[in-house]
Amino acid sequence: MTVTPADAAKRGGPSAIAQLKERAKHIAHDVLSPVVRGLAGLGIKADHLTWLGLALGVAAGVAFFDGQSQLAAGLLLLGGVCDILDGELARRSGVTSRFGAFLDSTLDRLSEAAVLVGIAGFGVRNLETLAFEPERVVREIQSGLDPVSWVVLVLLAMLSLVGSFMVSYTRARAEGLGLECKVGWFERPERLVLLMLAGAIHRFWALAGALLLLTVFSIATAVQRMVHVWKNTRGAGRD
């Protein structure tokens, strides 16, 4: 019997998006399984990959700042692979720990912040250049790029940073209260994919559009989690 997304929702089962994400996760783990075995054989530990992921995230931020968005996209891809491998390697090695999970989440936040700050810095850098090169201002306006566009890009990068942190914070705070809070589909993997695509396209409109979507969907996910916690506390008479 075929179960539609609506049926799944009515029965309290996972949504179609959640099922798709879970399927993609399993495929990625299956593909990378030989790599995990090889890394374990070389004595590489999960924490090494966690720190490498941070280094790649910072490098991606620097690349965005320097206007090399395609290089940044490649670095983000490698960082995403490290993010998958560290958890798998920890489980395979049997050395999972609460501190390891804490370190992984903390460094992920730093990595994402480095990327978004790098994009904001790219916007500020271009604004500074325009202030000293009036002829470039004319060229950009003629090509349809108003100087205000760079201001918008910087603001969107900062709002994206707030949104991404709110997604993580709402879940962490809920779990700190003893509540499960895995609702909302726009999490770190989706944010990384969006930024990778924008970087690979290497166009202003792609980067600005990605930041706008990241802001809107991140804030929507944070709101979803706030509503979820309300329903399971005050809405359920538990407060």
Place of tokens 């004595």: 43
Residues ≥6 apart with Cβ < 8 Å to 37: 92
Number of alpha carbons in the 13 Å side-chain half-sphere of residue 49:
24
Question: 47, 83, 86, 108: which is the annotated catalytic residue?
Answer: 108
Number of C-beta neighbours around residue 61 at 10 A: 25
User: Which token pair is 35?
Assistant: 């790599």
Polymer length in residues for the chain? 239
HEC letters along 172-204 = HHHHHCCCCCCCCCCCHHHHHHHHHHHHHHCCH
Cβ atoms of 187 and 167 within 8 Å: the answer is: yes
The amino acid sitting at 159 is L
- The torsion angles phi and psi of 15, rounded to 5 degrees, stand at -75, 170
Cβ atoms of 211 and 163 within 8 Å: the answer is: no
**DSSP code for 239:** -
d(C-alpha 47, C-alpha 83), whole Å: 10
Question: Does residue 47 carry a catalytic annotation?
Answer: no
d(C-alpha 138, C-alpha 134), whole Å: 7
Catalytic residues: 108
